[in-house]
């Protein structure tokens, strides 16, 4: 069963297109496969970096302490959170 493909159009300066074609050829890929691999490999790392937070041990300790020291949420905050839950947020 073949994977469905979709078209992406992009415009590049001529020298960049030539560079990409040469790199694809040197890698043994078609230009399409070469660009797809670049996107696949880069996108995973970029999206991962957007969803993770790295803290030093000191900052983590400060965060953990702030969580322990935090006051319980007020009724107003609880009501607002419940409203957001009901609305699907």
What is this structure's pTM?
0.55
Sign of CA dihedral 9, 13, 18, 19: negative
Q: What is the pLDDT of residues 46-56, one digit of tens each?
A: 998 888 888 99
Chain center to CA of 7: 22
Q: What percent of the chain has pLDDT over 90?
A: 81
Q: What is the pLDDT of residues 16-29, one digit of tens each?
A: 999 999 999 999 99
Low-confidence winner among 34-38, 50-54, 60-64 (lowest mean pLDDT): 50-54
Q: How far apart are CA 44 and CA 6, in angstroms?
A: 19
The mean per-residue pLDDT over the stretch 62-88 comes to 94
Sign of CA dihedral 29, 34, 38, 39: negative
Residue for token pair 């790392």: 45
């Amino acid at each position: 069963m073949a994977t469905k493909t979709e078209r992406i159009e992009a415009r590049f300066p001529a020298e960049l297109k030539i560079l990409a074609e040469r790199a694809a050829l040197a890698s043994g890929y078609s230009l399409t496969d070469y660009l797809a691999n670049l996107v696949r490999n880069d996108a995973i790392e970029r999206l991962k970096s957007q969803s993770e937070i790295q803290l030093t041990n000191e900052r983590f300790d400060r965060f953990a302490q702030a969580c322990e020291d935090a006051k319980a949420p007020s009724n107003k905050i609880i009501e607002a959170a419940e409203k957001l839950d009901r609305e699907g947020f």
